[in-house]
A = this chain, B = another copy of it.
Amino acid sequence: MSEMNANDGAGRNFLSDNTFGASAEVLEAVAAASAGHSPPYGADSFTEAVRRRLGEVFERDVDVFLVSSGTAANGLALSSLARPWGSILCHLDSHIDNDECGAAEFFTGGSKVVTVPGADGKIDPDALQRAIRRGAGDVHSMRPSALSISQGTETGGAYTLEEIRVLSLQAKAAGLGVHMDGARFANALSRLGASPAEMSWKAGVDVLSFGTTKNGTMTADAVISFRPAASAELAARVKRAGQLPAKARFHAAQLDAYLSDGLWLRNAGRANAHASRLRDGLKGIPGVELRGEPRMNMVFCALAPPVVKELLSEGYAFYHDRWEPGVVRFVTSFSHSTADVDRLLASIRRCSAPEPAAERPPRPRDGSRHHCVRD
């Protein structure tokens, strides 16, 4: 069983960064925005401030559309790049293919999402090239018309800037628009130590889903367009999709606070640092096998089944046995404290210590991928 233990304390919850609340600064900004009166539908000063701030963050003029979910951001962004008769190329593990109930198909009016393999959650350039070639032939196949890159990846990794550039160049050469699903954009940025501009439009991204809810806001994400032609239609598409609320200032106030005084980068840095600390701590624990490279605010490792069982019984919450048997995922959040991480480490150490957890994890029940992690 790998369900969340909902009654336990937040400090023991390492399920996902979407289980926590918002930063205090965001809540204060929302309360402040409620005072007085303000023009509706995004003609307010808060929305204007967000546009200005994002212009500074990305070092250029950008078009910004605030929406209420990452799924909406992805669907709208893709609809401005992919035509109904074109396909969208993305990684096998991508959220848009597995976890959004066909939002891409809905918003685009019937594009086909075509998956491309690649190790470690990243699209393999050769596989991308094959996918591009395969559909380019004639009118019978859906011609690839957009590439969607998840940065960070669904398993917490991050493409290097060079990797993004390579994929974007391939896409551009074939006339595809480039979308980035940045549900954890800030965490990836923090991991790479890159600038927002470098990790987006300078690397070839046309339209970005700028995720913020996992990293400090409540119910607001942004579509950021670096391509005026996409922006032009996004204005209408956003309205038509019910993503332009009358009191849009309440979305804008969240992002305004999020982007002020580097809150967003501090939050992401903090979550990532927690993961590094956890990873470092795990290295010294016998019987724990770390998996993969360091990954933003996630740690993957193999734990012996009794350890998993004991942790759950102590009130910890995390996903396990979704990737391979015995492998668990811990997601850290800006909401965690260092003490939360240390407590988790102590618990794992204690559970792992007494008697060796020698037994092998059970055989996989089924070789197929599981898509029931709810990030």
Q: Which residue numbers of A lie inside 8 Å of B, CB to CB? A: 4, 6, 9-10, 13, 16, 18-22, 27, 30-31, 33-41, 67-76, 83-87, 98-103, 105-113, 130, 134, 137-143, 213-214, 218-219, 233, 235-247, 250-251, 335, 366, 368, 371-372, 374-375
Contact = CB atoms under 8 A, between A and B. Distances in A.
A246 B213 contact: yes
Contacts of A236: 83, 85-86, 101, 139, 142-143
A240 to B, nearest CB: 4
Contacts of A68: 67-69, 219, 242-243, 245
A103 B242 CA distance: 7
Given A68-B242, A103-B240, A374-B41, A247 B18 contact: yes
Contacts of A111: 102, 105
Most central of A36, A72, A141, A247 by chain B CB within 10 Å: A247
A154 B137 CA distance: 19
| Chain A residues touching B, majority SS | loop
Given A20-B37, A245-B68, A85 B140 contact: no
Nearest to A214: B246
A358 B27 CA distance: 52
A143 B107 CA distance: 18
A112 to B, nearest CB: 5
Given A102-B112, A105-B111, A105-B112, 17 more contacts: A10-B37, A16-B40, A22-B247, A27-B31, A34-B218, A40-B374, A68-B69, A72-B241, A72-B243, A84-B106, A98-B141, A100-B239, A102-B111, A109-B109, A112-B112, A213-B246, A246-B375
Nearest to A250: B218
Nearest to A368: B130
A243 B242 contact: yes
B112 A113 contact: yes
Contact of A101 (B35, B139, B372): B139
A239 B71 CA distance: 8
